[in-house]
Structure 1
Amino acid sequence: MASPIQNNVIVDKNFQFAVNILKFAQILQDSKQFILSNQMQRSGTSIGANIREAQNAESKADFIHKFKIAAKEAEETEYWLLLCKEIGYPQQAQPLLDELFVIQKIVTKIISTTKNQLISRTV
């Protein structure tokens, strides 16, 4: 895995997660689960895209906004993965859910920490 942003845990985790989502999406495509595959691909890869975009945010507020979008995309991805797990793909979906839960915790912490930094600057 080669990522141009070095030593950034959340960027790296999301890049690998997107790769794993795309691999699972191919399994769904091969099983003719096109709607699930397409929706999961969109939301699952959007998490990392928004986090990458946040790396060049114009302000802390912009940074938080992009991370909040990533958090929403993570919620949507969780929904699609839970559906996949329920309809017969538990072995493929569960590891991705486990990976996603770690990402969600990190994203939530980054949003919280950045918000606190913004608040402490204005006080």
Structure 2
Amino acid sequence: MKEILKNRTKRFASDCWKLCSKFPISREYNAYCNQLIRCSSSVGANCRAKSKADFIYKLKIVEEEADESMYFLELFSEITDKEKMK
């Protein structure tokens, strides 16, 4: 189970990085991409705990970082939908 979590969170961070690499380079996109890359990679980084107690403690951080990642993914979805409508 531990390896599955590590692999999934690493893949999530990698997928977010790949998504961000597809956006144009601009001040606006860069700001959002930087945030998404930071919070998505933090999800996996905080799942790597030294003990069961440490893991439980870090789950709150993981939850917050995952929520932040979802926010930016939703934002990108709305932005790209609006861009398509132009």
Shorter-chain TM-score above 0.5 = yes
Q: Relative contact order: is structure 1 or structure 2 higher (C-alpha 8 Å, sep ≥ 6)?
A: 2
Q: Name the TM-score, length of structure 1 as normaliser.
A: 0.58
Instruction: Name the CA distance, whole Å, in 2 between partners of 1:80 and 1:21.
Output: 10
Which blocks of at least 5 consecutive residues in structure 1 are unaligned? 1-5, 90-123
* Largest Rg, 1 or 2: 1
Query: In the TM superposition, what is the alpha-carbon distance from 1:44 to its structure 2 partner?
Result: 0.7
Q: Residue 80 of structure 2: SS of its match in structure 1?
A: coil
1:39 is the counterpart of 2:35: yes
Same amino acid, percent of matched pairs? 33
CA shift in 2, pair 1:17/1:63, >3 Å: same
Instruction: Name the CA distance, whole Å, in 2 between partners of 1:84 and 1:7.
Output: 30
Moved over 3 A (4+): none
Among 7, 10, 17, the residue aligned to 1:12: 7
The number of equivalent residue pairs is 79
CA deviations over 1:22-70 (Å, ceiling 9, x no partner):
1111112x34211110010010110000012x2x13x52x221112111
Q: Name the TM-score, length of structure 2 as normaliser.
A: 0.81
Instruction: Name the CA distance, whole Å, in 2 between partners of 1:48 and 1:34.
Output: 22
Q: Residue 16 of structure 2 aligns to which amino acid in structure 1?
A: I
Instruction: Name the CA distance, whole Å, in 2 between partners of 1:14 and 1:27.
Output: 21
Across the aligned residues of Structure 1 and Structure 2, the Cα RMSD in angstroms comes to 1.9
Partner residue in 2 for 1:87: 79
CA shift in 2, pair 1:83/1:66, >3 Å: same
CA shift in 2, pair 1:76/1:7, >3 Å: closer
Instruction: Name the CA distance, whole Å, in 1 between partners of 2:55 and 2:11.
Output: 21
Instruction: Name the CA distance, whole Å, in 2 between partners of 1:37 and 1:15.
Output: 17
Among 26, 45, 62, the residue aligned to 1:70: 62
Instruction: Name the CA distance, whole Å, in 1 between partners of 2:20 and 2:61.
Output: 22
